[in-house]
Structure 1
Amino acid sequence: MANSNMIYGSICVSDIPKELFKKVKCQDGKERVFLNIKVCARKEVGKYGHTHFVSCEPANKDERKEGVNYICGDMKEYVPQSNTPSQEAINAAQPANDDDLPF
């Protein structure tokens, strides 16, 4: 796996057990809903290039239920694509026709 500072992906919110969502009253007085997650690196790259997975498994073993799949998403490393043409592409490009230039 390449070294990357960012990973991206998605989670399936509809498959997360509702009891794992925690409603918290914040300092500004608003109630917000939180979900504790952890992002783990896969041992091997997945079928679709996923390098990480997201789990919402409770930290407390007593809260875990047998048979429940707590993996709720897949992620992969973000590899930025350069928009700059390579030197080979520049060398192979056709020269601009001066007649087409507006100045």
Structure 2
Amino acid sequence: MQFDWPILSVLIWLPIAGGLATLALGERAIGLGRWVTLVTSAVTFGLSTLLWTNFDTSTAQMQFVEELTWIPAFNALYALGVDGFSMPLIVLTTFITPLVVIAAWNVIEKKPAQYFA
């Protein structure tokens, strides 16, 4: 199954946006920054499970392919895709991230915004 929206780009850019939001909150709102990080990582894990449940294991082809011309003069593309090797690694990474955030919730005292970003 292919999605009508760029799920791989969302999986990449959502954590970056969440990290930037956490950094922007900084030391002024440490608690809110932690929640932003936790929610962002949980949503990212949810998206990766959606990706995993729609992954076709019967083919070796790249799936969920996204291609966008980036720099036409150099024929450079923004291209993403998932194969059978990277799929479990994506799920593993997005599964571990919320666990790390929860484990570090009250442990990190110095510069928590930088840590959680």
Q: Same fold (TM over 0.5)?
A: no
| TM-score using structure 1 length | 0.23
Considering fraction of residues, name the structure with more helix.
2
Q: Which has the larger radius of gyration?
A: 1
Higher relative contact order (CA 8 A, sep 6+): 2
